[in-house]
Chains A and B, each alone.
Chain A
């Protein structure tokens, strides 16, 4: 969250000290490097060690805060109690003002979850896999019902706190604010490529989570080679670009008004049913399938229609709509806004530009973009 204080050579932002209290674990989740059967070396931090490390890193401006998770030892409650103890000590003894994200163990008691909510800015419970069947097979100690129950508990706790804030504001009485509960909401993580679920199933599960539990984010995590892999896993990890396409689709579903079917209904194409294209991004793929909706006249079309033009995002769509009230849009204005003209030019008209209609209708239209994209894709391979 917030500021990235460094980047790893794999391009990930480092913003939180993200550690496990211990990597000893009694669960046998096939995709996890710390499952019981794994040969990785084991270690355990004391509560004070994590507290001091967090404080010292924070004071040097290395991090925004702590993201604490843990392998399951002894029992769910015992482990959760240790995790909560770290957050409690940071907040109450050290007056720590940074960010705290706690990974919550779904089987732990509701009382522990409630206390975690007092200290944490964010709580998260991993849904792990898109279907209950896959969960049974790959993470046999995890219980789908506990996951749902605990997500619902978090959701109502968060909601209650939010409501009390609203009421307090309305009545101008701070005393009405309920005890804090995970003010930055909850999030979850789903493993991609460890089971056979296609993108449509994954996105449907994600949508359901966003809707039922008001998730802030669903994180998609393409399982990546780990040292000492389990014999239960598929031999080949999924292409990393699949994870990227899922994030793009997730964004389109939440902020661009697309439906899941619009993005994944690709039965007439050369790819597997229910899968997003790896060659082009899901928005461009939709536009290529719906060429009859283009070109869009940027001077007349409504905001929602402009949002569907490949290469125009929410901010630029807003800019275009604001700007055309002052002066009619010209082709030149698009490059001044630094829009990707090479992609855009086939899909829009301005007062002085209209794409060649034969190009848009041509059978090999999509190959125009795949050639461009193939160079970029190297980034993800």
Chain B
């Protein structure tokens, strides 16, 4: 039995490549989370490979690119109960791809394949929700320092967001925010790591506790918008909750409006339906200019029809 401790995808990839060359079966390996030291440190990998005389060193396996991409995605998955399980599933799939062919990945009802699928899905959903629900606040007070980033350098506005993703995605998602908010100085802070952009360079730093942010009150405008686009005649609270689960509400300033909107919906709808209809000539009767404008267009439209133009 070999034992390995892995922290990230690149680490796993190096070890897995060596093990594959030495033809070590998945059942012979125990993958450990990083804090527990394995019986073999990664350096002893060379010994395993060296002793594996049965494989020629020039032999390389062809691994489908699609699998590597998905494996990299699944590597972000955090499983609190069994943190190293993902590495063993990835290796077992890799082993099967090499020995049974890449069709293995088509077995969508196979437990390993399904596990890879569900890990990828969970990570991709987490990324998607982070892209959607990260909310920047503009820092008001100058000379503050947040996670080692001073806000007063130059005159640029400084924006900060606090977010708690379920999986280890900050590093892989940071380039998305760089691309979108290139012209802005910002930091995204999470408990597991932070990303900072100073308009020229992306830096990553250790995770932090939730900071107090002295932000401007711009969310007032957003809340006003949110309250006014709601259609009380179409209340579908369940649909909203399934797309925007309550655990994200703490990031969303508009979430404080939801209760009032939902509660008042039935009464407002009732009121709208029961209100007397308005005479469609109301404006025309009051203003000759309006009547004239409309009559010109209406006449045009009639002529249009008559001539069949």
Contact = CB atoms under 8 A, between A and B. Distances in A.
B108 A231 contact: no
Given A4-B243, A10-B240, A336-B109, A60 B234 contact: no
B111 to A, nearest CB: 9
Interface string B264-281: 010001011101011111
Given A6-B254, A141-B297, A327-B107, A11 B236 contact: yes
B272 A30 contact: no
The SS class assigned to the A binding surface is loop
B231 A10 contact: yes
A296 B309 CA distance: 52
Nearest to A240: B234
Contacts of B48: none
Given A36-B294, A326-B107, A10 B230 contact: yes
A379 B235 CA distance: 9
Interface stretch (B28-36, B89-97, B221-229): B221-229
A267 interface: no
B161 A231 contact: no
Interface in B274-309: 275, 277-284, 290, 293-294, 297-298, 300-301, 304-305, 309
B136 A60 contact: yes
Nearest to A330: B109
A358 interface: no
Contacts of A12: 231, 234
Interface in B173-220: 180-184, 218-219
B284 A61 contact: no
B262 A9 contact: yes
A78 to B, nearest CB: 12
A336 B114 contact: yes
Interface residues of B, number: 71
A60 B261 contact: no
A48 interface: no
B187 to A, nearest CB: 13
A17 to B, nearest CB: 7
Given A38-B278, A225-B233, A9 B265 contact: yes
B239 A61 contact: no
A225 B181 contact: no
A145 B278 contact: no
A8 B226 contact: yes
Interface of B: 103, 106-109, 114, 128, 131-138, 159, 161, 180-184, 218-219, 221-222, 225-226, 229-240, 243-244, 252, 254, 258, 261-262, 265, 269, 271-273, 275, 277-284, 290, 293-294, 297-298, 300-301, 304-305, 309
16 contacts: A10-B230, A10-B239, A11-B240, A17-B225, A60-B219, A142-B301, A143-B301, A224-B231, A224-B234, A229-B275, A240-B234, A323-B109, A325-B103, A326-B103, A333-B108, A337-B108
Given A9-B235, A10-B231, 5 more contacts: A7-B244, A9-B261, A37-B281, A136-B305, A145-B309
